[in-house]
Chains A and B, each alone.
Chain A
Amino acid sequence: DSGVTQTPKHLITATGQRVTLRCSPRSGDLSVYWYQQSLDQGLQFLIQYYNGEERAKGNILERFSAQQFPDLHSELNLSSLELGDSALYFCASSVGGMDTDTQYFGPGTRLTVL
């Protein structure tokens, strides 16, 4: 158990819909990262927040957005969902925002878009 929690575990929805994925980092960790893992794309970095501020941006679509709240939990919002958005979405956290920080991954949310 990494100490990072993600809800829900599974999510099934239809194309065009909007969903919100939630992540609670390990106690004391200030950074939260979001990743998308699909069969054909591997593990893709989406975005990083550090202490409430966006720190780094990866291959995140405009239909996706994220935020980190004052209590440091984070939400990833996915809108206008397409079939290709079906994937495992992982959240990870680290102590700080340094590039040498170890990232601890949560169990993931499996999103299925029908």
Chain B
Amino acid sequence: GQQVMQIPQYQHVQEGEDFTTYCNSSTTLSNIQWYKQRPGGHPVFLIQLVKSGEVKKQKRLTFQFGEAKKNSSLHITATQTTDVGTYFCAGRAEYGNKLVFGAGTILRVKS
């Protein structure tokens, strides 16, 4: 079945450093969504990418969808302590009907 792999599993950065998490799907995706879950909280929708090669920005966050629509990345510039949490990607296969989540990347930021 469809699998969505996410790396790294865990990253600990110094405040001000950049951070990137990568998401790879075993199948072509119709779209990919990114969520953030703060410690003790619930996943919160960040963004959705639909088009091949799409790039979207939200302040210090940059999201990319690969040309083949099988991978995606989230890049945070100059991390802040408020960025801590787990970042999940979630993709739906091109002819599928369910959203498959990656295992998530846990981000810790040292101040």
A contact residues vs B (CB 8 Å cutoff): 2, 33, 35, 42-45, 48, 55-58, 90, 92, 99-100, 102-108
CB within 8 A of A2: which of B31, B42, B98, B104?
B42
CB-CB < 8 A to A58: which residues of B? 98
In the complex, A58 Cα to B90 Cα: how many Å? 14
Name B's interface SS.
Answer: strand
* B48-78 near A? 1/0 per residue, CB < 8 Å: 1010000000000000000000000000000
Contact A108 B42 (CB under 8 A): yes
Contact A43 B97 (CB under 8 A): no
Contact A42 B31 (CB under 8 A): no
Contact B44 A2 (CB under 8 A): yes
Given contacts A106-B42, A108-B42, contact A99 B102 (CB under 8 A): no
List CB contacts (< 8 Å) of B73-90 with chain A.
88, 90
Contact A55 B97 (CB under 8 A): yes
Question: B28 interface residue, CB < 8 Å from A?
Answer: no
Contact B104 A105 (CB under 8 A): no
- Minimum CB–CB distance from B95 to chain A (whole Å) comes to 10
A-B CB contact pairs (8 Å), 16 listed:
A33-B99, A42-B88, A43-B88, A55-B97, A56-B97, A56-B98, A57-B98, A58-B98, A90-B43, A99-B31, A102-B33, A102-B48, A103-B99, A104-B45, A107-B41, A108-B42
Give B100's nearest chain A residue, CB to CB: A45
